[in-house]
Amino acid sequence: MKIKLPKINFKIPKITIFGIDVIKNFLFFTLYLIITLLSIAFIIAPAIKKFKKSKQHFYEIKSEFLSIKNHYNSELEKLNNLKKQNKVIILKLRRDFDIKNFKIFASQFMKILNIKKDKTDIYKNGFVKTIYYINAFIKSPKNFYDFVDALKKYKNVIKVYFPIDFEKEKDKIKITLKIEHYRLKDKNALKAEEKAH
């Protein structure tokens, strides 16, 4: 058995103002609003969500960058202050040992017979230590201690290795001493690093 559905004949009433169909325009406007809202919901909203996520990520990275930059600047300032405070010692550590110059310096305190270079080793990774043996005559032990005090103002970093051999020879004292000269391992790398800052 067939069921017949009644036909619904629905006709949109026609209302015109100045020749414009108000109902049709209202329906078109409503359809336009629905399409616009759907576009916003399905196209623009995800883009806005992605943008907000990216913006949040950007600010997190920026905050981390600024924190690291501030820490870097703080450490750089400390390093520069240390360099200023230790400028003299840094200059001393850059210089090579000049035997002729050292003899001239030491001649105020002793008469050097000879200076013999022994061995060179790496000291604590960044430094080079070279050992020298010196034979010399001094008039009194005071001359030797004055020499040790004056080494603080010498242009190189020199360490006098104790004990010292003292032998009396007539009116003079013959001494044999070991000194260690310290300098930076790679001076060129340090200069390049300073230019970079």
Domain map (residue ranges) of the chain: 20-85, 96-190
| Predicted TM-score of the model (pTM) | 0.56
Q: Which residues of 44-67 are buried (b: 16+ CB within 10 A; e: fewer)?
A: eeeeeeeeeeeeeeeeeeeeeeee
What are the structure tokens assigned to 142, written together? 């005071």
The mean per-residue pLDDT over the stretch 175-195 comes to 71
Residue 144 and residue 162 in contact, taking contact as beta carbons nearer than 8 Å: no
CATH superfamily of 96-190: Ribosomal protein S6/Translation elongation factor EF1B (3.30.70.60)
Per-residue pLDDT band at 46 (split at 50, 70, 90):
confident
**H or E element: which one contains 125?**
none
Chain segment 138-180, per-residue pLDDT in tens: 988 889 899 999 998 899 888 998 888 888 888 888 999 899 9
DSSP-assigned letter for residue 152:
G
